[in-house]
C-alpha cells in the first residue's frame, strides 16, 4: 500500500507542476522532470520505491520506442525526401562532431564526449510534432522537412542503440561483440520476415476484437523487448524492432492510438525518475558546461540546418524556421545517456548535466519555434549569407500571364488541371526547388521564388493577370499577396486559402474574391454529392472511378503525401 500512496502523491505533485508549465506555454516534459527534482532526496524526499519506479520507467521507454517503430515502415526513406535525408544526416554528423570537440575542450574524456556529442544531435519528436500541430504548420514546407528530420533521426537512433548494446564492459573496440551484432542482424531479419509473411494473418485474427488487439500489441512489444534483453541486447532495440515489425500491418495506426495513453503514463514516470536522480552535489561544476552546450544547441544547431538548406537551394526563411525545430535535445538523448549509465559507461553526474541541458534547450526552443514567424523580419537582412546567390530559376517571367498559381501542392495540382481545361496562359510559382525541378520535367511553366519577398513579388506581372490563386496556407503570406495584387490590379480575381473562419473573414475584408477553406469544403462537397446522387450505386461507381483516375495522376506527378504519425 505504501508504494500506492507514494505514487499517488508523486502524480498529484506532477499535475500541479505540469499545470504551471501549461500556463507558461512550456512542454509538459519539463514539468515532469521538475516534479522529479522536487520529490527527490534533495527536496521533499518522497521517492523511496526507486526500483519499482525504474521498472515502470523501463516499460514507458519500451512503449515509446515500440510506437516510434510503428511509424518507421520500410518506405520511410522514400517518404522523408532528399532534403530531409541530406539535411537530417548532415545535422546529426556536424552536431555530433562539434559536440564532441566542445566536450573535449571542456575536459571530458573521449568516451563521455562521444556520448554527449551523440546526445546533442537528436531533437525531440514529441515536442516538435506538438508545436507544429499547435501552429498548424504541419502542411507548410518547413514543417514537412522538419518531420523528415525526425524520421531520419529515429532511424539513426536504432543503429546507435544497437551498437551501444553490443559493447560489453568498457566502451572500446576490443569489447565490441561482433557476435552480438551478427545475432542482432539475424534476429531483426527474422522478425522482418515474420512481419511480412506471418503477422498480416495474425493481425487480422486479433483485430476482430479490439481488446484482443490491444492485449496482443502489449504482449508483442514488451515480449520482444524482454527477448532481446535476455539475449544480451538492450530492451530498447527489442521494442523498436517490435514496432517496425508491426509497421507494415494495416492496423498499425489503430495499434498506435490504443497504446499511446499507456505509453504516456509510464513515460511520465521515466522523466520523474530522471529528475529525482539528478545529482546536485556538484551543481556549480555543471552550470558552466550546461550553458555552453545549451548555447551550442540553441544557436549552433539552427545555423547548421540553415547552412545545409541554403546549399540545397532553399530560401532563407525556410531554413530559419526549420533550423529552430532542432534547437533542443530529445527524449532520446536522455534515454541514450541513461542507457550509458546503466551499462557502466557514464556516471549520474553526466546524466544530470545532459538533463540540465535538456531543461534549458527545451524551454528556449519552445519560444523560438512559437515566435519564429514574428522573429524572421528582424533577422531577415542578416540571413542572406545562408541563401545561395545564384538560385536556379526554372522559368522566365513573360510580359503577360492570364493566371498565376502560387504554391503547387495537392490542391494546386487540381487547380492546374482546371487552368489547362479553360486554356489560360498560366505560371506556377513555388519556393520548393524540388517542386520546381519536378514541374520542369513535365514542361509546366514555373518560377522559383518566395512571395514573402517583396522584391520578387514586384517582378511578377501582377497588373496583367485575370486570376491569382494561392494554395499557400500561411495567413500573412496571403494577406500580403492580396494587398500587392489589389494595388496594381483592382479587377483581378484573387483566390486564397485559410485554415480558420476568422482568417477567412479577414482575407475577404482585405479584398479576396474567394477564400478556400479545405476543412469545411470537404464536408460541403460530400453533402452536395449525397444530395445529387442519393443512393444510386451506378452514380457512386462513376464518381469512384473518376476519383481513382485523378489520384493516379497525382501520384504520377509526385503528389503522394504520406501520413506521419504523431509520436
Domain final position from 322, 352, 382: 382
Express as a percent the part of the chain with pLDDT over 70: 85
Write the CA distances from 455 to 313, 395, 458, 459, 460, integer angstroms: 18, 17, 5, 7, 9
pLDDT in tens, 484-522: 999 999 989 999 988 788 888 899 999 999 988 876 666
Domain final position from 382, 411, 437: 382
Say yes or no: 9 and 134 in one domain.
Answer: yes
pLDDT in tens, 70-87: 876 655 555 556 778 888
278: pLDDT confidence band, cut at 50, 70 and 90?
Answer: confident
Q: Which three cell numbers stand for residue 274?
A: 530522471
Residue 103: its pLDDT value, please?
95
pLDDT in tens, 116-153: 999 999 988 767 877 777 777 776 778 878 877 777 88
Query: Of 519, 511, 509, 473, which Cα lies nearest the Cα of 489?
Result: 511
In this prediction, residues 345-364 reach a mean pLDDT of: 88
Say yes or no: 81 and 203 in one domain.
Answer: yes
Burial 90-106 (b: 16+ CB within 10 A, else e): bbbebbbebbbebbbee
**Quick one: angle between helices 348-370 and 125-134, nearest 10?**
10
Write the CA distances from 181 to 159, 245, 383, 419, 513, integer angstroms: 10, 19, 45, 57, 62
Residue 392: its pLDDT value, please?
42
- Within a domain: 423: yes
- Phi first, then psi, for residue 265 (nearest 5°) are -65, -50
Residue 13: its pLDDT value, please?
93
Say yes or no: 373 and 407 in one domain.
Answer: no
> Alpha-carbon distance 389 to 87, whole Å?
19
Contact (CB, 8 A) for 139 and 473: yes
- DSSP-based three-state secondary structure for 349: helix
Query: Of 112, 121, 172, which Cα lies nearest the Cα of 348?
Result: 112
- Within a domain: 85: yes
Residue 566: its pLDDT value, please?
37
- Within a domain: 324: yes
CA 77 to chain CA centroid, nearest Å: 14
Say yes or no: 96 and 227 in one domain.
Answer: yes
**Quick one: angle between helices 331-342 and 348-370, nearest 10?**
180
Beta-strand pair 403-406/493-497? unpaired
- Measure the CA angle with vertex 370, ends 368 and 372; round to 5°: 55
Number of other CB atoms surrounding residue 59 within 10 Å = 23
Say yes or no: 106 and 208 in one domain.
Answer: yes
For 549, residues 6+ apart whose C-beta sits below 8 A from its C-beta are none
Q: Which three cell numbers stand for residue 181?
A: 551484432
- Within a domain: 395: no
First to last CA, the chain: 34
Query: Of 320, 553, 434, which Cα lies nearest the Cα of 81?
Result: 434
Full residue range of the structural domain in which residue 60 is found: 2-382
Q: Whole-prediction pTM value?
A: 0.70
Q: Reply yes or no on whether the pLDDT at 170 is more than 70.
A: no
Residue 529: its pLDDT value, please?
72
At 10, which CATH number? 1.20.1530.20
Residue 269: its pLDDT value, please?
87
Say yes or no: 439 and 359 in one domain.
Answer: no
Domain final position from 350, 382, 414: 382
Q: Which of 123-137, 380-394, 527-541, 542-556 has the lowest mean pLDDT?
A: 380-394
Q: Which of 230-234, 306-310, 483-487 has the lowest mean pLDDT?
A: 230-234
- Within a domain: 564: no
Say yes or no: 256 and 327 in one domain.
Answer: yes
**Quick one: angle between helices 178-197 and 199-206, nearest 10?**
60
Asked whether the CA dihedral 367, 356, 267, 192 is positive or negative, the reply is positive
Secondary structure percentages of the chain, helix, strand, coil, to 5: 70, 5, 25
Say yes or no: 370 and 446 in one domain.
Answer: no
Contact (CB, 8 A) for 33 and 287: no
At 514, which CATH number? 3.40.50.720
- Within a domain: 415: yes
567: pLDDT confidence band, cut at 50, 70 and 90?
Answer: very low
Say yes or no: 408 and 293 in one domain.
Answer: no
Mean pLDDT score of the chain: 80
Query: Of 34, 136, 42, 110, which Cα lies nearest the Cα of 362?
Result: 34
More confident position, 235 or 553? 235
- Within a domain: 258: yes
The structural domain count of the chain equals 2
Q: Reply yes or no on whether the pLDDT at 555 is more than 70.
A: no
Say yes or no: 429 and 332 in one domain.
Answer: no
Contact (CB, 8 A) for 333 and 126: no
> Of 67-81, 273-287, 455-469, which one has max mean pLDDT?
455-469
More confident position, 189 or 20? 20
pLDDT in tens, 373-401: 888 888 888 888 887 654 444 445 555 78
pLDDT in tens, 403-459: 999 988 767 777 877 877 777 788 888 877 778 887 888 888 888 887 777 777 888
Residue 198: its pLDDT value, please?
79
Q: Reply yes or no on whether the pLDDT at 319 is more than 80.
A: yes
Say yes or no: 459 and 370 in one domain.
Answer: no
Say yes or no: 190 and 291 in one domain.
Answer: yes
Contact (CB, 8 A) for 468 and 403: yes
Express as a percent the part of the chain with pLDDT over 90: 17
pLDDT in tens, 26-61: 878 888 888 988 988 878 888 888 888 888 888 888
Helical ranges in 401-536 per DSSP H: 410-421, 433-441, 454-459, 475-488, 501-510, 518-533
- Within a domain: 65: yes
Amino acid at each position: 500500500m505504501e508504494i500506492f500512496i507514494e505514487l499517488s502523491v508523486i502524480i498529484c505533485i506532477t499535475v500541479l507542476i505540469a499545470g504551471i508549465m501549461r500556463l507558461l506555454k512550456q512542454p509538459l516534459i519539463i514539468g515532469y522532470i521538475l516534479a522529479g527534482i522536487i520529490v527527490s532526496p534533495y527536496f521533499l524526499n518522497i521517492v523511496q520505491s526507486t526500483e519499482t519506479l525504474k521498472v515502470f520507467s523501463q516499460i514507458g521507454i519500451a512503449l515509446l520506442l515500440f510506437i516510434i517503430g510503428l511509424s518507421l515502415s520500410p518506405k520511410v526513406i522514400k517518404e522523408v525526401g532528399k532534403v530531409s535525408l541530406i539535411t537530417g544526416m548532415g545535422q546529426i554528423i556536424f552536431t555530433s562532431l562539434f559536440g564532441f570537440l566542445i566536450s573535449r575542450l571542456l575536459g571530458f574524456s573521449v568516451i563521455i564526449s562521444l556520448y554527449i556529442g551523440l546526445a546533442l544531435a537528436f531533437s525531440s519528436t514529441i515536442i516538435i510534432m506538438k508545436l507544429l500541430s499547435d501552429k498548424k504548420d504541419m502542411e507548410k514546407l518547413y514543417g514537412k522537412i522538419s518531420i523528415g528530420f525526425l524520421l531520419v533521426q529515429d532511424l539513426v537512433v536504432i543503429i546507435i542503440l544497437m551498437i551501444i548494446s553490443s559493447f560489453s564492459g568498457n566502451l572500446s573496440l576490443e569489447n565490441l561483440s561482433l557476435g552480438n551484432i551478427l545475432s542482432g542482424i539475424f534476429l531483426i531479419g527474422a522478425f522482418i520476415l515474420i512481419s511480412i509473411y506471418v503477422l498480416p494473418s495474425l493481425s487480422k485474427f486479433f483485430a476482430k476484437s479490439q481488446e484482443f488487439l490491444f492485449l496482443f500489441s502489449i504482449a508483442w512489444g514488451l515480449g520482444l523487448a524482454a527477448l532481446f534483453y535476455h539475449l544480451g541486447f538492450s530492451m530498447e532495440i527489442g521494442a523498436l524492432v517490435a514496432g517496425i515489425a508491426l509497421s507494415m500491418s494495416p492496423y498499425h495506426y489503430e495499434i498506435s492510438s490504443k497504446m499511446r495513453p499507456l505509453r504516456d503514463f509510464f513515460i511520465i514516470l521515466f522523466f520523474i525518475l530522471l529528475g529525482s536522480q539528478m545529482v546536485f552535489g556538484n551543481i556549480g561544476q555543471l552550470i558552466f558546461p550546461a550553458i555552453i552546450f545549451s548555447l551550442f544547441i540553441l544557436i549552433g544547431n539552427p545555423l547548421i540546418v540553415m547552412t545545409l538548406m541554403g546549399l540545397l537551394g532553399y530560401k532563407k526563411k525556410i531554413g530559419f524556421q526549420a533550423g529552430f525545430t532542432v534547437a533542443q535535445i530529445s527524449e532520446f538523448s536522455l534515454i541514450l545517456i541513461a542507457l550509458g549509465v546503466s551499462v557502466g559507461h557514464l556516471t549520474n553526474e553526466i546524466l544530470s548535466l545532459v538533463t540540465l541541458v535538456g531543461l534549458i534547450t527545451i524551454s528556449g526552443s519552445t519560444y523560438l519555434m512559437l515566435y519564429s514567424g514574428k522573429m524572421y523580419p528582424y533577422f531577415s537582412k542578416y540571413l542572406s549569407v545562408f541563401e545561395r546567390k545564384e538560385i536556379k530559376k526554372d522559368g522566365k517571367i513573360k510580359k503577360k500571364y492570364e493566371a498565376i498559381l502560387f504554391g503547387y501542392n495537392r490542391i494546386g495540382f487540381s487547380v492546374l488541371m482546371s487552368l489547362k481545361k479553360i486554356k489560360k496562359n498560366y505560371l506556377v510559382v513555388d519556393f520548393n526547388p524540388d517542386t520546381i525541378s519536378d514541374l520542369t520535367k513535365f514542361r509546366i511553366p514555373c518560377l522559383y521564388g518566395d512571395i514573402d519577398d517583396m522584391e520578387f513579388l514586384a517582378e511578377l506581372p501582377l497588373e496583367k493577370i485575370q486570376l491569382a490563386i494561392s494554395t499557400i496556407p500561411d495567413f500573412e503570406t496571403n494577406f500580403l499577396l492580396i494587398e500587392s495584387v489589389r494595388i496594381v490590379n483592382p479587377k483581378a480575381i484573387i483566390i486564397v486559402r485559410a485554415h480558420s473562419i476568422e482568417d477567412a473573414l479577414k482575407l475577404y475584408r482585405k479584398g479576396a474574391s474567394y477564400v478556400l477553406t479545405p476543412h469545411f469544403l470537404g464536408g460541403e462537397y460530400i453533402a452536395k454529392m449525397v444530395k445529387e446522387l442519393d443512393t444510386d450505386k451506378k452514380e457512386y461507381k462513376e464518381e469512384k472511378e473518376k476519383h481513382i483516375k485523378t489520384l493516379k495522376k497525382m501520384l504520377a506527378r509526385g503528389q503522394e503525401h504520406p501520413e506521419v504519425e504523431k509520436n
